Amino acid sequence: MSRFFDSIRGRKKSSLQSPPLPILPSDRRPLTPLDDELLPLGDLSIFPVEILRQIVIFAFGNRTLHIDLRLARPRFLDGPPNDHVMECHSTAPCSGEYPIDMEAPKRWTWYGSVCHRGFSPAWEESMKRRGLSTYFCPHRDQCLQGRGLCEIWEGGSAIGALGWLGTSRRAYQVGIQVLYATNVFYVEAATMEVLTAGVVLQARLEMMARLEVRFDTGVLFGRDFEQHRPRLSACLEGLARMRSLKELVISIGDVYYDSSVKPRYVLKEIEGVLLRPIVDAVAGMKRLENLVVELPENIFEDLDKGPPGSRLQLGEAHRGKVWSCGKGPWWSYPGPEDLSLQIKRGEDSDLFWDYKGVPKSHAFITGHPSCGM
């Protein structure tokens, strides 16, 4: 009997151990040449380098790409789905389209796709000719949940770069630069933490020019916020290593749960936990031109309020014409040197206070949570 219980304990202990991160060995043979030597590329070698680069950009550049790496149980992708199957994002990690194998241990699982939260290139051109903005803010992204505007996109959601990168060393050299330097990358905070822990080479991190990061953990107040703040710090430390970024958008989910105090009375803590660490993290990014943070509704609405002596140093900023879902007032917060942190309203909040100051919940009143769309 004791051996029986020992075997159970052993199985439980081994099942709780996380597998190591999928980091390539340091002694691997590098694919990219150490110099600028032009290596053979078949028939495409007749093109000048710049024309070849434009061809590769047309193939898999100038897009918004999802990169997701998480520790999760596998799903039965070869079986029937739970419901209808989305054509593009049915295999996304949070789609719920396929049942999860609850008996299997968790493992590191990659997912990548072209983002379909906004308009396809064909639609963008049509809207731009009419003077309309085509940008959809990160808080509206639901691709990882299996939902997007897939019906107006052609060719599915696959990035399609892997075959090209494996063609030859010169193809890899041109393709990897296009992939990292011309695309916008959308990652969640947990993925950002592991990507910058050695999964992605430092040289590749320094190639990235545009990044969107999503935080959905309670880093401020409410449920388990103390255990989530180290994750925020780790993510910001990783951001500091991406010194070539030109644009950074940080989207904070509905993370304010403390019904006992309005955000206007804890502005200094919000500044110390969130705003100031973001500014400090980007201090070494000399090429950064655009720094934006999306705050949930209940925090954003109180950002310019508060008792005398505790208000934040904010200025007004107007960017509504640039961002189609960013209309309304924006705030600017002092950043490094001449750069300011642009603050806009993001996701709708479940927690709110009525005219008497009584905390209420949208989910409790309406029967479903507020939607950030």
> Per the domain annotation, does 155 fall within a domain?
yes
Q: What is the pLDDT of residue 230?
A: 75
Q: What is the pLDDT of residue 290?
A: 92
> Per the domain annotation, does 315 fall within a domain?
yes
Q: What is the pLDDT of residue 359?
A: 78
Domain that holds residue 139: 50-67+85-94+107-366
Q: What is the pLDDT of residue 96?
A: 73
> Per the domain annotation, does 311 fall within a domain?
yes
Q: What is the pLDDT of residue 154?
A: 77
> Per the domain annotation, does 148 fall within a domain?
yes
Q: What is the pLDDT of residue 40?
A: 54
Full DSSP string of 91-132: TSTT---S-B-TTSPPEEEEEEEE--SS--HHHHHHHHHTT-
**Terminus-to-terminus CA distance in the chain, angstroms?**
56
What CA–CA distances, in Å, run from 50 to 53, 54, 61, 336?
5, 6, 14, 35
Q: What is the pLDDT of residue 317?
A: 74
Q: What is the pLDDT of residue 27?
A: 63
Q: What is the pLDDT of residue 221?
A: 54
**Are the beta carbons of 347 and 253 closer than 8 angstroms?**
yes
**Are the beta carbons of 317 and 330 closer than 8 angstroms?**
yes
Q: What is the pLDDT of residue 371?
A: 40
> Per the domain annotation, does 101 fall within a domain?
no
Q: What is the pLDDT along the chain (373 residues), one digit of tens a residue?
A: 445 444 444 544 444 577 888 876 666 555 554 444 444 556 666 777 788 889 899 888 988 999 999 888 888 776 555 554 455 677 788 877 778 888 889 888 888 899 988 887 777 777 777 777 777 888 888 888 888 888 788 777 888 888 888 877 778 888 999 999 999 999 988 888 888 888 888 888 999 999 999 987 655 654 555 666 777 788 888 888 898 999 999 998 887 777 788 888 888 888 988 899 999 999 989 999 999 999 988 889 888 887 887 888 888 876 655 555 556 788 999 988 888 999 998 888 888 888 888 878 877 665 544 443 3
Q: What is the pLDDT of residue 87?
A: 55
> Per the domain annotation, does 76 fall within a domain?
no
pTM beyond 0.95: no
Query: 122 burial class (0-12, 13-18, 19+ CB within 10 angstroms)?
Result: exposed
> Domains in the chain: how many in total?
1
Question: How far, in Å, CA of 85 to CA of 362, rounded?
Answer: 30
**Are the beta carbons of 319 and 298 closer than 8 angstroms?**
no
> Per the domain annotation, does 42 fall within a domain?
no
Element (H, E) at 365: helix 362-366
Q: What is the pLDDT of residue 320?
A: 52
> Per the domain annotation, does 338 fall within a domain?
yes
What CA–CA distances, in Å, run from 208 to 102, 185, 201, 212, 373?
36, 8, 11, 11, 28
